Amino acid sequence: MRQPQSGSSPARQTGDRTRSSRRGRDAGDRRSAESTPDTPAKRTRRRRARRTRRSRRLPSSTGLVVMVIALAAAYGVYWMVVANMVQSGIEAWAAQQEAQGVTMSFRSARVGGFPGTVTARLTAVSTQASVAHGAWSWQTPSLAVEVNPLTPFAVTLDLGLAPHAIRIPVGSTAVALTAMAETARLRLDSSNTRLTSAELTLESARLGADALEGDAYTLDALSARFDAVGPAEPEADDVTQRVSAMLSGLSVPAAARLPLGRDIAAARLEARVLGPLPQDRPLDTALAAWRDDGGSLLLDILEVDWPPLSVQATGQVVLDHALQPESVLRARIVGFVPAVDALREERLVRSADATMAKVLLTSLARPAPDGDLVLDLAVVIRDGTLWVGPVALMPMPRMPWGPPRGSLGDVGIRPGFSLDREGNVVPK
């Protein structure tokens, strides 16, 4: 008798024979199935088997309907929560304004818009500030507060639905203004009760006043954006805010007597605020604290197209002791000769000073490829005077904040400076 090979046991040989037998039977079954005719009954069984396998992988139509209904119900509940949040938020904001000296009244807000944007429409809106807060007032027949359920912490105010009546006290009288626009939308984003960004969009806007006798300020388009950035406890050299704005087609009333004409074709601003600017203080106090902490404004882009003048500038702006702007900008100026002539005609510059300015500035200019003279030099605002290169061109209008002119005494006296022929600042 042949002995089993080493490493092979009787049990293993038995298993091998069993597997070989199974493979033989399977092969025989396949040959039998191939030889058996494909009858209708067999095809029916195969279709049922395929449907059974698919039904195990996919939910039934009833299950899908139940899922859709459940999701719709959950969204409906969530939408109602956001709607209630909007309505209660409006009431809380009005109460907060009243506590700060500004009384706001309106008819009950009607909330709608399901299943899309939550929209609360306020009618007969009236706002009145106390004497301590300026005694101004604002009224409008209606406005809308909109909140997208997907971004519940972003609120959009639609102010373009109706005209707005504004009254601002000036001395012993009040200036009555009327504003309207085809599009006027203000979007506010917040996080943890802190405003993180704001975006204003105006189109075809008009601002009129009774004193203008039918004349008005008009604007084709304006887009402006504010973003709060930077660390929680910023230093003087940290960027805390970013500001950008772009306008086109600004026309002012003839009564404004702007030196270069009524129409500003376009303007653009991109700036960064350095240092912490307090948000919970009166304006003068906040600006003084920002200045004392070393705050400044960096102008990354300043462009003005005010025919015949075109200006592109960058630089830095700070506040002086009287909280008035003081800046050193590097500017590219085109059209300065007709601009100086316009200033002389408006008697903002004396004839002798205008002649000297044109002579000096022309000597510093270079011709552009299109033939225009281009100035590339420093523009300085200091002690209320605008300097263009080495020329003290004109006094600057005073900003509506800070102490009265001359009230600071010796504190308001600043060290002198001069500008060289190339327009660079030389401290004295």
Is residue 178 classed exposed, middle or buried when 0-12, 13-18 and 19+ CB atoms within 10 A define those classes? middle
Write down the domain spans for the chain.
57-182
* pLDDT per position as a tens digit, 240-285: 999 999 999 999 998 888 888 899 999 999 999 999 988 778 888 9
Q: 317-326: b or e for each residue (b if 16 or more CB lie within 10 Å)?
A: bebbebbbeb
Nearest to 163 by CA among 143, 187, 146, 179: 179
Residue listed under structure tokens 């944007």:
117
* pLDDT per position as a tens digit, 274-331: 999 887 788 889 999 999 999 999 999 999 999 999 999 999 999 999 999 999 999 9
Is the entire prediction scored with pTM above 0.85? no
> Is the pLDDT score of 409 beyond 70?
no
pLDDT for 52 equals 58
Q: 221-248: b or e for each residue (b if 16 or more CB lie within 10 Å)?
A: bbebbbbbebeeebeeeeebbbbbebbe
> Is the pLDDT score of 6 beyond 50?
no
Nearest to 127 by CA among 158, 88, 100: 100
Across residues 381-406, what is the average pLDDT? Answer: 84
pLDDT for 423 equals 52
In degrees to the nearest 10, what's the CA dihedral of 356, 359, 363, 368? Answer: 120
Q: Round to whole Å and give the CA distance between 267 and 248.
A: 7
Is residue 98 classed exposed, middle or buried when 0-12, 13-18 and 19+ CB atoms within 10 A define those classes? middle
Name the percent of the chain lying above pLDDT 70: 80
pLDDT for 314 equals 97
Angle at 172 between CA 168 and CA 178, to 5 degrees: 25
Which residues lie below 8 Å from residue 108, measured CB to CB, with a gap of 6+?
none
Lowest mean pLDDT among 284-288, 375-379, 405-409: 405-409
